[in-house]
Structure 1
Amino acid sequence: MKNTAPTSKPTIEYYQAQNEKLEMEKEALEAKLKWYEEQFRLSQQHRFGSSSEQVNSDQLSLFNEAEDTTNSTIEEPDVETITYKRKKQSGQREQKLENLPKETIDYRLSDEEQICSCCGGTLHDMSTEVRKELKVIPAQVKVMEHVQHVYSCRHCERHEIETPIVTANMPKPVFPGSLASPSAMAYTMTQKYVESMPLYRQEKHLERFGVSIPRQTLANWIVYGANTWLQLIYDEMYAHLLEHDILHADETTLQVLSEPDRPAKSKSYMWLYRTGRDDTPIVLYDYRQTRAGKHPQRFLTGFQGYLHVDGYSGYNGLGNVTLIGCWAHARRKFSEALTALPESASTSAVKAKEGLAFCNRLFDIERDLKDVSPEERYEARLERSQPVLDAFSAWLREQTPRVLPKSALGQAIKYCRNQWERLERFLLDGRLEIDNNRAERSIKPFVLGRKNWLFSNTAKGAAASAITYSVIETAKENGLNPFNYLRVLFEKLPNMDTADEAKMASLMPWSPTLPEECQIPNQSK
């Protein structure tokens, strides 16, 4: 008969330890569940909700609306308010049309019809009735034959040993050996990079004009035009960009299918750099394979001053540069925290609204200071914005231990505290902006275009796209018609000395000597 060791019964301490362990696991699972619920609500908002970050100030005080609006001294109204419709002011249509080219068609009676039906006398022109219409002239495709005549001397042909040959001047082609004209190349680029029309759709569009041009040929036009001619304008704009002391930067993803030693699904990046609100508008894109910090370091070599950025750490390695944080990102974090909370989370909702209210108060101050001078803005910020920042900083420190670190509200508070040194630097100079929205607005055309053409086939094509987007977006920022401006560039650059700095300066998007046709009538930047 085998002897077995007696098994000891679990003690009270054992069960207490197990209970504490299970409680901790339960709390961890509940926290994880709340985080997943927040992410689900945020994703639903991103998919189906409004993309605007504007918040009605009344919504931030809904939880104490009754206390804020109550007033026992005001009697209930006994008169009903009736709304009414008002006729639009006259003259607005004429103002919209005043800078457009006009074509007048007169409708007159013939000499035989200018006879009075009553007495038979001659009728005279008493008045006119005018009807205005907008006439749209669609694109047309026609063949331009450039015939260069060659001349010689009959006398020399008969009596002299040598005969002088004189050839008439003819403009050089924008793409030798190709059907591309300056207008065709400009049209292809604006259709893709302004109207976001992929090349395969442009190919079908041209077929309806009766001409068949493969998309590969259209792509060759873009790459050649960008690398040969627009690169010259890009380099000049790049040199001007580095001369400024306030810039904005941002980046977004791009898929390039055929890159050496990289799979087709790998992410590449399009970086953006642009000038501030008080400087000549310059917008430059820079295509790179990665999001590494070495790329802004290389691009901004020689730049000294302020750089508006988001919270990405890749900009931290820039020397002689003061990074300015983005309050729009901070506000967005609290807005997302408010969206992610369930209806039952009243306490957290109040805290999220409080954080959002601090951000909105700063933006309200900036809105009031929009039209003042940089010096006045600097003084007013110290007087009005500094107290708000001090109060917000104290509020962030107070709330940090009270919220879950991984919750949306906890992440919003963490972002503000980690970025605080950058966020408060907009007080250093009245020319600085409170956010980096200027860069985000400039990179948006690329993002919208990417939704249509989806990817670039090669790295060479991606680099050409960066150059073309840079020239087009800078032209738009300077109030130019992109198509007309590109056409002028493709007409003049092949036929001029591109080493002449004065001639190149006359073709910059901000040059006052550009042809009037490049300007947009009734421009709205």
Structure 2
Amino acid sequence: MNRQSGIYAREGVDLDRSTLADWVGGAAWLVAPVAERIGDYARAGPAIHADDTPIPVQDPGRGRTKSGRLWLVVRDEGTWGSPNPPAAFYRYSPDRKGEHAHALLAPASGFLHADAYAGFDKLYEPDPITGRPRLEPVACWAHARRELFDEHAKTKSPIARQALDKIGAIFAVERDVNGRSAKVRLAVRARLRACRCWPTSRIIWRPAWAGSAARGDEVSGAANANAAYTGHIMGIRRMGRGAIRFCHPNSPRTPTT
């Protein structure tokens, strides 16, 4: 608002920040019901993505900004051939407490594709009545490979290179079946497993790995959540009409293999 007020002032138009804030607030109030309906739709998907990122927020009187959080829920079923349109829903919070994640995802059920943020953990706990979790975690290969990529770029570690090659081979399989029906995707994976052509990621979980390469949270988190990363390979993470969810392979740090 301050920047826009200054731009108008240079053009001879006197618009106070409070006036601009009133306009934005009024517009936000009018479109809030539409935004909430989008949020309802996004969170109703059988498999959703969730994440958060820090954003600078003005902190009047302190001469600097403070850090807030912008939360995101994405529903995108195009990778398994669903006709349902994609949607994204955003929500702001002043901090990163787990209660904000819980409030955002309270209406959701099914599979949650997210990073290893501890604030999501309670969402995966079994329901006291049904004994089953309302949300089941689906881990992200792009997050897991980041530290591997950085380690290889820094040290040229052959173990990191081999792990990246294995993950790259898995990504290649998924690119070939991207957008195909759940039946086709599952059949391709089953055929590759039957002929032992499916690239295994087991190298990542070697005990020697922890002492010889990256020690970041992403790698240690991957080692502790092996099932969440390998479930799609075993053909057990079925969503929607039998589809299997896999992390989007278009990571910005994907090297050519």
After TM superposition, the score normalised by the length of structure 2 is 0.75
1:384-403 map, 5 Å? 384=192, 391-393=200-202, 395-397=203-205, 399-401=206-208, 403=210
The answer on whether the counterparts of 1:272 and 1:286 sit within 8 Å (CA) in structure 2 is yes
CA distance in 2, matches of 1:297, 1:327: 23
What's 1:231 paired with? 32
The one-letter amino acid of 1:361's match is A
Name structure 2 gaps, 5 residues minimum.
79-83, 124-132, 253-257
The structure 1 residue matched to 2:101, chosen from 288, 296, 317, is: 296
The structure 1 residue matched to 2:43, chosen from 242, 253, 257, is: 242
CA distance in 2, matches of 1:242, 1:267: 26
After TM superposition, the score normalised by the length of structure 1 is 0.39
CA distance in 2, matches of 1:281, 1:392: 30
Report sequence identity in percent.
23
Query: 1:75-106 CA distances to partner (integer Å, 9 max, x unpaired)?
Result: xxxxxxxxxxxxxxxxxxxxxxxxxxxxxxxx
User: In the TM superposition, what is the alpha-carbon distance from 1:263 to its structure 2 partner?
Assistant: 11
User: Is the radius of gyration larger for structure 1 or structure 2?
Assistant: 1
Query: 1:58-89 CA distances to partner (integer Å, 9 max, x unpaired)?
Result: xxxxxxxxxxxxxxxxxxxxxxxxxxxxxxxx
What's 1:333 paired with? 147
CA distance in 2, matches of 1:388, 1:311: 29
Say whether residues 1:271 and 2:78 are aligned partners: no
User: In the TM superposition, what is the alpha-carbon distance from 1:265 to its structure 2 partner?
Assistant: 5.9
Query: 1:287-337 CA distances to partner (integer Å, 9 max, x unpaired)?
Result: 123322222222222321111101222211114111111111122221111
Query: 1:476-514 CA distances to partner (integer Å, 9 max, x unpaired)?
Result: xxxxxxxxxxxxxxxxxxxxxxxxxxxxxxxxxxxxxxx
The one-letter amino acid of 1:244's match is G
CA distance in 2, matches of 1:237, 1:410: 36
What's 2:159 paired with? 351
What's 1:376 paired with? 184
What's 1:423 paired with? 229
Q: Counting strand residues as a fraction of each chain, which structure ranks higher? A: 2
The answer on whether the counterparts of 1:365 and 1:385 sit within 8 Å (CA) in structure 2 is no
1:115-514 map, 5 Å? 199-207=1-9, 210-226=12-28, 228-258=29-59, 266-278=66-78, 279-318=84-123, 319-341=133-155, 349-384=157-192, 391-393=200-202, 395-397=203-205, 399-401=206-208, 403-404=210-211, 407-408=213-214, 413-426=219-232, 427=235, 428-429=237-238, 431-435=243-247
User: In the TM superposition, what is the alpha-carbon distance from 1:221 to its structure 2 partner?
Assistant: 1.1
What's 1:475 paired with? none
CA distance in 1, matches of 2:218, 2:56: 30
Query: 1:134-190 CA distances to partner (integer Å, 9 max, x unpaired)?
Result: xxxxxxxxxxxxxxxxxxxxxxxxxxxxxxxxxxxxxxxxxxxxxxxxxxxxxxxxx
CA distance in 2, matches of 1:263, 1:208: 24
Query: 1:386-407 CA distances to partner (integer Å, 9 max, x unpaired)?
Result: 95777322x234x3236527x5
Query: 1:209-241 CA distances to partner (integer Å, 9 max, x unpaired)?
Result: 553323332222112211x20111112222323
User: In the TM superposition, what is the alpha-carbon distance from 1:250 to its structure 2 partner?
Assistant: 0.3
Q: 1:270 to 1:432 in 2, by over 3 A?
A: farther
Name structure 1 gaps, 5 residues minimum.
1-198, 442-525
What's 1:510 paired with? none
The one-letter amino acid of 1:373's match is S
Q: 1:254 to 1:371 in 2, by over 3 A?
A: closer
The answer on whether the counterparts of 2:170 and 2:199 sit within 8 Å (CA) in structure 1 is no
The number of residues matched between the two structures is 230
User: In the TM superposition, what is the alpha-carbon distance from 1:411 to its structure 2 partner?
Assistant: 6.1
The answer on whether the counterparts of 1:247 and 1:308 sit within 8 Å (CA) in structure 2 is yes
The one-letter amino acid of 1:354's match is Q
User: In the TM superposition, what is the alpha-carbon distance from 1:432 to its structure 2 partner?
Assistant: 4.3
Q: 1:297 to 1:383 in 2, by over 3 A?
A: farther
Query: 1:447-478 CA distances to partner (integer Å, 9 max, x unpaired)?
Result: xxxxxxxxxxxxxxxxxxxxxxxxxxxxxxxx
Q: 1:378 to 1:293 in 2, by over 3 A?
A: farther
Which gives a bigger RCO, structure 1 or 2 (Cα 8 Å, sep 6+)? 1
The one-letter amino acid of 1:364's match is A
User: In the TM superposition, what is the alpha-carbon distance from 1:412 to its structure 2 partner?
Assistant: 6.1
* 1:317 match: secondary structure: helix
Q: 1:298 to 1:263 in 2, by over 3 A?
A: farther
* 1:408 match: secondary structure: coil
Q: 1:356 to 1:412 in 2, by over 3 A?
A: farther
What's 2:128 paired with? none
